[in-house]
Amino acid sequence: MREVRSLVTRILDIDMDFFLSDIAHWVDNSERLDSEQYVPWDEERFRVFLEERCRLNKDNPIKGRVIEHHDEAFHFWKELIHRGDLQTPFVLTHIDAHSDTGLGDANYVYIMKELLHHPMNTRLRKLNIKKVNYANYLAFTLALGWVTKVEFVLHPEWDNDFLYLHLKDFSDSSGSFQFKAYNKDIDIVMQMHRLLEIKPLLVDPEIPYSLIKEDEFTSALPYDLAVFCKSPGYTPKEADYMLSIFKEYIEEI
């Protein structure tokens, strides 16, 4: 039976730190990790994951890009959107040791008190691009309305690092992101514990997400576009062999 493809673009977003034995947090990006503590997958296991779980095929490569730091994914998608080569919203599969939704980053205040005050179709134009970084780029991707659903494929050692302020009802049991705009006079940092009691000025549509364990993940459909990130501060140099292998499965653009 012929496979029916989704009309919605499906994007594969991978960080190389997913393919290590452990997860690094709060690192100094100027140095690489120790491969004895953060052991990379071997080539066979890596290829099997790409081919059998992500449904990538060297004989039928998809468009994609290998990047250094993960916020470059945001700029890549923005570039394609501006060129008319990427339609939004798209389905995103995020394969990473971290959620990249902004935990430990204070730019959630900018999102909630400034960016979200603008209509969805003007937010990209109004965005202060300097606020986007490798720890929060996914929060900005969602806040701009680019994504209709997120699949998080979890590292076995993953510890919940969602920024709960961007979740529906501020709860990770809701299964959805839902961005909320607040009055600029509210001190979100000081009032964080009682935001449930404060009515937001605006509530965005829900963006559902799912959490999938590594050994339970197999993509239901092929992908249309892929990103693979090196994240040098979060990976050892011994894992860099994966970069050239991933390029075998994409047509670089």
Residue 99: the pLDDT is 96
Residue 191: the pLDDT is 76
| CB-based contacts of 156-159 (< 8 A; 24+ apart in sequence) | 156/213, 156/214, 157/22, 157/23, 157/97, 158/23, 158/97, 159/23
Domain residue spans in the chain?
12-24+32-252
Residue 193: the pLDDT is 74
Residue 6: the pLDDT is 56
Residue 104: the pLDDT is 81
Residue 197: the pLDDT is 80
Return d(Cα 192, Cα 239) in angstroms, integer: 39
| Residue 40 DSSP one-character state | B
Residue 68: the pLDDT is 97
Q: Where are the alpha helices (DSSP H) in the chain?
A: 43-48, 71-83, 108-113, 123-126, 137-143, 188-191, 241-247
Question: Cα(first)–Cα(last) distance of the chain, in Å?
Answer: 32
Residue 190 neighbours by CB under 8 Å, 6+ apart: none
40-54 pLDDT, tens digit each: 999 999 999 999 999
Return d(Cα 169, Cα 177) in angstroms, integer: 9
Residue 5: the pLDDT is 53
Residue 160: the pLDDT is 93
* Burial zone of 18 (CB within 10 Å; 0-12 exposed, 13-18 middle, 19+ buried): buried
Residue 1: the pLDDT is 40
Q: How many CB atoms lie within 10 A of CB 47?
A: 18
Alpha carbon distances (Å) from 157 to 39, 84, 93, 214: 13, 38, 18, 10
pLDDT mean values, one per 10 residues, the chain (253 residues): 62 98 85 96 98 97 97 98 96 97 91 97 97 97 98 96 93 95 85 80 96 96 97 97 98 95
